Amino acid sequence: MNTEILGVVAQVVLMVVLSYPLGRYIAKVYRGDKTCLDFLSPVERFIYKICGINPAEEMNWKTFLKALLTVNVFWFFWGMFLLVFQGYLPLNPDKNPGQTPDLAFNTCISFMVNCNLQHYSGESGLSYFTQLFVIMLFQFITAATGMAAMAGMMKAMASRSTKTIGNFWVYLVKSNTRILLPLSLIVGMILILNGTPMGFDGKQTISTLEGSEQVISQGPTAAIVPIKQLGTNGGGYFGVNSSHPLENPNYLTNMVECWSILIIPMALIFALGFYMKRKKLGYSIYGVMLFAYLVGVICNVYFETNGNPNIDKMGINQDLGAMEGKEVRLGSAGTALWSVTTTVTSNGSVNGMHDSTMPLSGMIEMLNMQINCWFGGIGVGFMNYYIFIIIAVFISGLMVGRTPEFLGKKVEAKEMKIAIIIALLHPFVILVGTAVSSYLAATQPELAAAWLKNPSFHGLSEMLYEYTSASANNGSGFEGLGDNTYFWNFTTGIALILSRYLPIVGQVAIAGLLAQKQFIPESAGTLKTDTLTFGVMTFAVIFIVAALAFFPVQILGPIAEYLSF
């Protein structure tokens, strides 16, 4: 077997195998069962005490959401202030200036909503202080926020009838102390041992083998990269993200980082089954998501390892595959696997340039984000899938002439209205944003010339990808687009806000509303939601509602580009 393909298979198998025990552990953390990290309880109690939190207090879904949104508003003002004034703050040996207000707005919103869309270059756009106390801090907090929201939903779904869904603050703290921090320490040590820098010195000037001088950025990279991946954040410490040799030194670190991207989203699906004591439901959901993920991996590995047909026509050997925009030390198959892994989650980190991938690979990358529920961000991935479960249950109930039920609760008009609004919000934000930017590009070419570097089909794909990435809280980009402008900073910032908070509010509201209803025991006529048949039904609903909404614009972009070869 080709060693590159063997590496891809090994990484996928490793992720699947390790996600099971981690899922069991996460379920224990949120259920309050004994775990190997119980020695951290005094630290957690200290945090509750200084923050005035009563860990025994139960919250209804409205109070839960109020706490979630309040803490996010606070961190927004914190981040804006530090980013604008970072030039006057300590830990800035390279003298990087503060960000402009529009760029700071976009950066702060992006990292606060777990997207990490970067309209700046990492090492030159931020100081060490803001890398640590805005970027790294937000990467922990926002990841834990998504996990806390899912923990609340799991409690609501597991209860026969309840008005409360747990304590947001407890879930937030435990997500950090029991899951994210320990895993980040393990990954960080592996990176340090393989050469990723960890210090606070400024740029180094070195002499190259050719006799010229080169300036090398460094800093506390190893502290930030682990949570970037594990928290499905994705913001690169360096401008070229994980294709940078100091952020991702070799094939081993590439495997560890790629594993880190998907391990928690995968584990959370198993955790759902363990927490609710409905393992078959967890297996069913996991199976649908894994199938969709593997289809994307197979497609992209095939497209990238077979190379560019235009280069084939020139008689140039492409044994290494389509290597434009890729690192030789990682290979075309390694980049193809990463491109799917980072887009089925809301990670968005890259180890090669997505703008340089083959047209149909770019289509798969965008389609993953446009569907936005194949594993997804930690916590919010299942929450997006949950919306389609509700829709699938309702449609299936109508097809068999029964009142739709999910986990013993009737799904009625109120829940369906919320689910449909959330399901349609995603394509609405993406397509409207792409339409507006396309209109400006066509009618005001002098304006568009400042940011649109490629014409025709690929230019449309670049704009479509930017709004898709923002709306999916992903953060990757087709980097032929010059996005640090007022237009892109503000429009993608609005897309980020709408696409993060409205879905979370709707998803938690549905879970809370269903939790309050009277439990209906299963009968012979109850629709089973933990079967292969229902998994196929959910997949079909996702494909019809989500994927088909984007096929017309995909035809105008990547598919048209592919057909033009």
Length of the chain: 565
CB distance 113 to 497 below 8 Å: yes
- Residue 328 CB neighbour total at 10 angstroms: 8
- pLDDT of res. 337: 95
Angle at 108 between CA 421 and CA 65, to 5 degrees: 45
pLDDT per position in the chain (565 positions), as tens?
Answer: 477 889 899 999 999 999 999 999 999 999 999 999 999 999 999 999 999 999 999 999 999 999 999 988 999 999 999 999 999 999 999 898 999 999 999 899 988 888 888 888 878 889 999 999 999 999 999 999 999 999 999 999 888 888 899 999 999 999 999 999 999 999 999 999 999 999 888 888 888 777 788 888 888 999 999 999 999 998 888 888 999 999 999 999 999 999 999 999 999 999 999 999 999 999 999 999 999 999 999 999 999 998 888 776 777 777 788 888 898 889 899 999 999 999 999 898 999 999 999 999 999 999 999 998 889 888 888 888 999 999 998 888 887 777 788 888 888 889 999 999 999 999 999 999 999 999 998 888 887 778 887 878 999 999 999 999 999 989 888 888 888 888 999 999 999 999 989 999 999 999 889 888 888 887 766 778 888 888 999 999 988 887 788 999 999 999 999 998 7
**Closest CA relative to residue 545, chosen from 434, 397, 390, 411:** 390
CB distance 471 to 346 below 8 Å: no
Torsions phi, psi of 474, nearest 5?
A: -95, -65
- pLDDT of res. 402: 73
**How far is the C-alpha of 508 from the C-alpha of 422, rounded, in Å?**
12
List the domain boundaries for the chain. 3-563
- pLDDT of res. 442: 86
- Residue 417 CB neighbour total at 10 angstroms: 12
- pLDDT of res. 1: 47
**How far is the C-alpha of 299 from the C-alpha of 366, rounded, in Å?**
13
Bridge partners (DSSP) of residue 216 are: 204
Furthest CA-CA distance within the chain:
79
